[in-house]
Structure 1
């Protein structure tokens, strides 16, 4: 880095970095803080203000901690995460840290971890990961270090102020009416592919379909309740890492919902129930079918009829798109999908409104 001014350096990414002494550890070692900006004068001004604030503050010294980031992470996961979250969430957090974070910064001592280390980590992840994945991993790391700060092991969270890659708006892949008709014609009444019919007519996620039980179907009121989901998570035993299928409650309160079913779907469900000997709607030898089995079955069908670009999740998008085309309002569709907010639904299906947008603009011709 090219230096300009006292403790202000030009970084390779074009930003200026200002360094100041935040304090000293009990062993006498200096603990530095960092400020970033795209203008030298901006960083210099902030550095002056920060140094003044530090001189006039009476903040406590950090508690002694000799462990590395890896030591703190393992302690945080076991003590503060595992007891409070679902097993699937714990497994997800653990996997993110072990695969993406700890191999890069795990050996650094926690109290020597700097914002520049986090910045380098983000840049490294950008080489192989999507922006959405990076943001998800970063969120876990930020929470972990935030807890360390609250326990006075860090004077500040080094994740604060880090610039993350911008998210690109997702393009929803939904089947056209023609492709949907082709798909339904191919599977016909084959019960092996009934999960496809369920997804197209209810918008259920693949894990929700796997967890659907007959007790969740109310044939009298023509409704279906989403009460659980199936997913495969990573676990550990004496031999080493492995994965297993777990049944958990839906991902959020909004995901736990009730969905009306059509007369045609009700008829198919009644026919399927007559021959079923399982508690689960979709089953194999009286056991629930796991998500990757359903995904594999769909893969067979999509290749056969030339729909390779679509995933099983596309069936959920197709349901939402058909609802939009039928004139459904966004709040109702958001509720059916179990989204956490209407904004999330709008962000996902903006492109699906194009037909309605064209019709609206065409009406202006007559005004």
Structure 2
């Protein structure tokens, strides 16, 4: 039931729904926009702001556009996204929109799309996707629609006010020292699994390991440079969904970095270099080994020694955890990992500080 004098209603799902006049169609008929929230006061405040915004922007005329969401998305991707981002980013955006958005609501006319359509879309997504995946997809979708608003193809962004599921903080899966030693013993003498040693001793991402070339290694100064990464990305070939291997520069300025290597790793690299016939450190028949193959090889080893709950990415976490245990500061570890900020490192490895926190508390003297 609505509060007196207000278009704010309590929904069956426990949320409040606020309604405002969004505009008029060509035939003069009014159509509405909606705001959702779990608190009445929040919805009322957003409704007030929205009504004020509509009053101050009513001078903008809605451009006539009869296309579907599918048409607009393809135009947005090709005109505003593809020229400005890396091929892997473009492929990721395109895949998210095609698989999760356009396959469900792509035939809806852009200017007739409502928050109700988007709410139904999110409800469908919740059935099969994790909260973090939904938020990632929705971020691309919202950017796409925001561009339509800026070009006056829409008077308002129907994504605004949508309640997204909260993503749970990921817990870091790092190997214990005992398990790490077992793994190292298993792969130490087999060059086929050298990628595992690299991950454990440098913290490189799987794509960075695949893209590592001998020219990136400075044996004189005991360092290696991260200058490229190899990825498998989606590819649409005449309507048939395929994938392709691409070699690109690191995703950010921080990802491109130089890492010191230990004497023991330098020795192993020198031994491998003597017998290598490829430009790449990890290779097969002169070509770079792709991430999927590297991950499969790790899967074979982990099953053999009973470490099935760990992924190849766990090796990167293990490297970071060993650095923390050795007393490394966050800024240094963040730089080694190529994180965009120390905050990202802290968010990833909060649980790894537990032993340090325990030692600190035990040193405190409390008066009983």
Same fold, judged at TM 0.5 (above) = yes
Instruction: Specify the alignment match of 1:232 in structure 2.
Output: 232
SS in 2 for 1:220: coil
How much does 1:106 deviate?
A: 1.2
Distance 1:53 1:293 in 2: 53
CA contact (8 A) 1:278 1:286 kept: yes
The residue aligned with 1:320 is 320
1:296-347 deviations in Å (ceiling 9; x for gaps): 1001100000000010000000000110111100110010000111111111
TM-score of the superposed pair, with normalisation by structure 2:
0.94
Q: Shift of residue 52 of structure 1?
A: 6.2
Per the alignment, residue 244 of structure 1 pairs with 244
Alignment of 1:121 with 2:99, yes or no, is: no
Name the SS for the 1:196 alignment partner.
Answer: helix
Shift of 1:189: 1.5
Q: Within 2, Cα distance between the matches of 1:104 and 1:241?
A: 17
Distance 2:268 2:312 in 1: 20
C-alpha displacement of 1:294: 0.5
CA distance in 1, matches of 2:186, 2:156: 59
**Aligned match of 1:35:** 35
> What pairs with 1:1-367 in structure 2 (closer than 5 Å)?
7-39=7-39, 43=43, 47=47, 50-51=50-51, 54=54, 58-238=58-238, 240-365=240-365
The number of residue pairs the alignment matches comes to 366
2:21–2:30 contact (8 Å) kept in structure 1: yes
Shift of residue 59 of structure 1? 2.2
**SS of alignment partner, residue 277 of structure 1:** coil
Bigger mean CA offset, 238-247 vs 189-198? 238-247
Q: Deviations over 1:87-127 (max 9, x none)?
A: 11111111111111112221211111122222222222111
Kindly state the Cα deviation for residue 44 of structure 1 after the two structures are TM-superposed: 5.7
Runs of 5+ in structure 1 lacking a partner?
none
CA RMSD of aligned residues (A): 2.0
In 2: Cα distance, 1:108 partner to 1:60 partner: 23
Cα offset, 1:236, TM superposition: 2.3
Task: Specify the SS of the correspondent of 1:347.
Answer: helix
Note closer, same or farther for the CA distance 1:45–1:332 as it changes in structure 2 (3 Å cut): closer
Q: Quick check: 114-123 or 167-176, which moved more?
A: 114-123
- Return the offset for 1:18: 2.5
Contact 1:25 1:64 in 2 (8 A): no
Moved more, 272-281 or 239-248: 239-248
